[in-house]
């Protein structure tokens, strides 16, 4: 019985590891600027097609870092993420993943597959 319990705990720990890098509570504070454009749990943002809530944290972080490094060009985004640290990016990504779903579901909204497709 004890062994089963330990195994269940172990598998929970492993499956929860996507959250381990970023701290969603810190991310909520750090996302204050992102929210105006990308939304939150209670707001769609000015660009509702790129609401980030519910998106995969690893993919969000990867794409955010491409804007940080200038690999992806988008003046609004390059300026918005320029000053972030690696930890800030992980925290913000964890926050958005934890929101679970966009505030305003709508046709044409970007999903994780768009992030994966981006070079
Ligand atoms: C002034 C508005 C604005 C702010 C502030 C902003 N963004 Fe963006 N962001 C955009 C726009 C517009 C796009 C779409 C850019 C494109 O496709 O060229 C985008 C795209 C993204 C994407 C890619 C989404 C996808 O599905 O392709 C990520 C990730 C992202 N932003 C993260 C952030 C984070 C993290 C912050 C806060 C630190 C932030 N953004 C702040 C406007 C903004």
CATH number at residue 57: 1.10.760.10
Query: Is the distance from CB of 96 to CB of 55 less than 8 angstroms?
Result: yes
Identify whether 81 is part of a domain. Answer: yes
Residue 4: band (very low, low, confident or very high) from pLDDT cuts 50, 70, 90? low
Identify whether 62 is part of a domain. Answer: yes
Identify whether 5 is part of a domain. Answer: no
Q: How many domains does the chain have?
A: 1
Identify whether 79 is part of a domain. Answer: yes
Identify whether 97 is part of a domain. Answer: yes
Ligand 1 centroid – CA 64 distance (Å): 8
Query: pLDDT tens, 36-61?
Result: 999 999 999 999 999 999 999 999 99
Identify whether 35 is part of a domain. Answer: yes
Query: Is the distance from CB of 95 to CB of 39 less than 8 angstroms?
Result: no
Residue 29: band (very low, low, confident or very high) from pLDDT cuts 50, 70, 90? very high
Q: What is the pTM assigned to this prediction?
A: 0.85
> What count of other Cβ atoms lies within 10 Å of the Cβ of residue 21?
16
Identify whether 60 is part of a domain. Answer: yes
Lowest mean pLDDT among 24-28, 82-86, 115-119: 115-119
Domain of 46 in residue numbering reads as: 21-102
Q: Measuring from atom 15 of ligand 1, which residue has the nearest CA?
A: 74
Identify whether 42 is part of a domain. Answer: yes
Secondary structure (DSSP) of the chain = -HHHHHHHHHHHHHHGGGGTSS-HHHHHHHTHHHHHHH-BTTB--S-GGG--TT--HHHHHHHHHHHHHTSS--HHHHHHHTT--HHHHHHHHHHHHHT-S-SS--TT---HHHHHH--
Q: Measuring from atom 14 of ligand 1, which residue has the nearest CA?
A: 50
């Amino acid at each position: 019985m004890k062994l089963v319990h330990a195994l269940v705990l172990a598998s929970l720990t492993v499956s929860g590891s996507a959250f381990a890098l970023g701290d969603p509570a810190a991310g909520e504070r750090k996302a204050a600027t992102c929210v105006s454009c990308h939304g939150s749990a209670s707001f769609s943002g000015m660009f509702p097609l790129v609401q980030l809530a519910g998106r995969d944290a690893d993919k969000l972080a990867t794409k955010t870092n491409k804007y940080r490094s200038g690999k992806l060009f988008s003046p609004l985004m390059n300026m918005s993420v320029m000053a972030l640290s690696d930890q800030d990016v992980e925290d913000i990504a964890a926050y958005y993943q934890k929101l679970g779903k966009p505030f305003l579901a709508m046709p044409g909204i970007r999903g994780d597959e768009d992030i994966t497709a981006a070079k």
